[in-house]
Amino acid sequence: MRVLGIETSCDETAVAVVDDGVKVLSNVLSSQHEIHGRFGGVVPELASRAHLERLNPLIEEALAQAGTGWGEIEAVAVTRGPGLAGALLVGLTTAKAVALALDAPLVAVNHLEGHVYANFLEHGPPDPPYVCLLVSGGHTMLVYMPEEHRYEVLGQTVDDAAGEAFDKIARFLGLGFPGGPELDRLARKGNPEAVRFPRAMAGSGDYDFSLSGLKTAVIRHVREERQAGSETSPEDLAASFQEAVVEVQVQKTMAAAEAKRVEAVLLGGGVVANSRLRELMARAAQSRGLRLLHPSEELCTDNGAMIAAAGHFRLARGERSSFDVGVEPGLPLR
């Protein structure tokens, strides 16, 4: 089945054409980083307007790159939440119009499910059960999946999301937006043991995370040093901060995998593009004999292909969304 996937939940307008939930024919996106960069975060109204201007041409581009005509699109998958209401509305309304015009089924997808299914694009469907770590700009959670499309949230952040922490620290250090990729690049040249920042909730015995204390610790460290006239290099700071985030994520993911007795661990979300996260996760998984799956870097951050993939597997189960379906900015994973 050839599915058109549309994603507009945040600051990337993204469209893809995917065959059978695994074969990416095209995957194009228009990122709004240049619009939001100077504000240091996503401005919802500007995001909606940019989606509105960019989505139609992007759909044409996705079809052209896939070498497919409108008539060959068999279904339309679109994100309905979680995300920014106005931004979601642009994607969902467009998807409804396309589905209606083509007389094709519509399937409205949870964005987080998209991040999980990004793994299916390159590896094919793994055998459940698995444990999945979802780390993005808006979410940080550990999920147990006993079977496809069934989610048991084991734990999540009690304050900031991991990506949000990366973005805030990057902003504090005067780096660009989004901050994750810049910090990652800087950290590669730094010493992760230069400063021992707190590993928040590492010993809490549950699967929850907390990141706002770490953010405060980094800022306090820099201010105290400045007063004392000394300074840790930005590279060392970035590496030490990143290490504190990643170490707890690896530890909790492995603990969940062991407790749930799964053989596979899936990673999803923009922060999975982080090189240190992949490195430490791979090491930990290998030493435990676990299969580790993560999307390639460009499929970790928001894209249309992951939405098409998640939609495909729902459609294959006979699911369809009604044309009455609305956006749900706080849509939970269930």
Q: Which two tokens stand for residue 157?
A: 């952040």
Burial 195-233, CB ≥16 within 10 A → b, else e: bebeebbeeeeebbbbbeebbebbeebbeeeeeeeeebe
Amino acid at 298: E
Amino acid at 139: H
Q: Which is nearer to Zn ion, 26 or 136 (CB)?
A: 136
**Which of residues 244 and 271 has its CB atom nearest to Zn ion in the complex?**
271
Q: Please identify which residue in 106, 161, 302, 307 interacts with Zn ion, judged by CB under 5 A.
A: 302
Contact region for Zn ion (CB under 5 A) — 187-195, 225-233, 240-248, 299-307?
Answer: 299-307
Tokens describing residue 257: 């995998």
Q: How is residue 270 written in tokens? A: 């923009």
| Contact pattern for Zn ion over residues 78 through 117, marking x by CB under 5 A | ----------------------------------------
Site for ligand KG4 in 253-272 (CB under 6 A): 269-271
- Which of 79, 110, 119, 136: binder of ligand KG4 (CB under 6 A)? 136
Pick between residue 32 and residue 94 the one whose CB is nearest to ligand KG4.
32
Nearer to Zn ion, 105 or 178 (CB): 178
Stretch that binds ligand KG4, among 118-126, 161-169, 220-228, 283-291 (CB under 6 A): 161-169
DSSP assignment of 75-136 equals EEEEEEESS-HHHHHHHHHHHHHHHHHHT--EEEEEHHHHHHHHHHHHH-PPPSPEEEEEE-
Residue choice 4, 6, 10, 99 for contact with ligand KG4 (CB under 6 A): 10
Selected binder of ligand KG4 within 167, 236, 243, 247 (CB under 6 A): 167
Q: Are 252 and 118 in contact (CB under 8 A)?
A: no
State in Å, rounded, how far the first CA of the chain is from the last one: 25
Cβ at position 227, least distance to ligand KG4 in Å: 29
Residues numbered 126 to 165 that lie near Zn ion (CB under 5 A) are 136
Asked if residue 167 binds Zn ion (CB under 5 A), the reply is no
Q: Which is nearer to Zn ion, 73 or 135 (CB)?
A: 135
Helix, strand or coil for residue 272?
helix
User: Is it true that the peptide bond before 181 is cis, omega within 30 degrees of 0?
Assistant: no
Beta carbons of 142 and 252 less than 8 angstroms apart: yes
Our CB check for ligand KG4 shows the closer of 25 and 273 to be 273
Chain residues that interact with ligand KG4, rule: CB under 6 A: 10, 136-138, 163, 166-167, 178-181, 184, 269-271, 273-274, 301-302
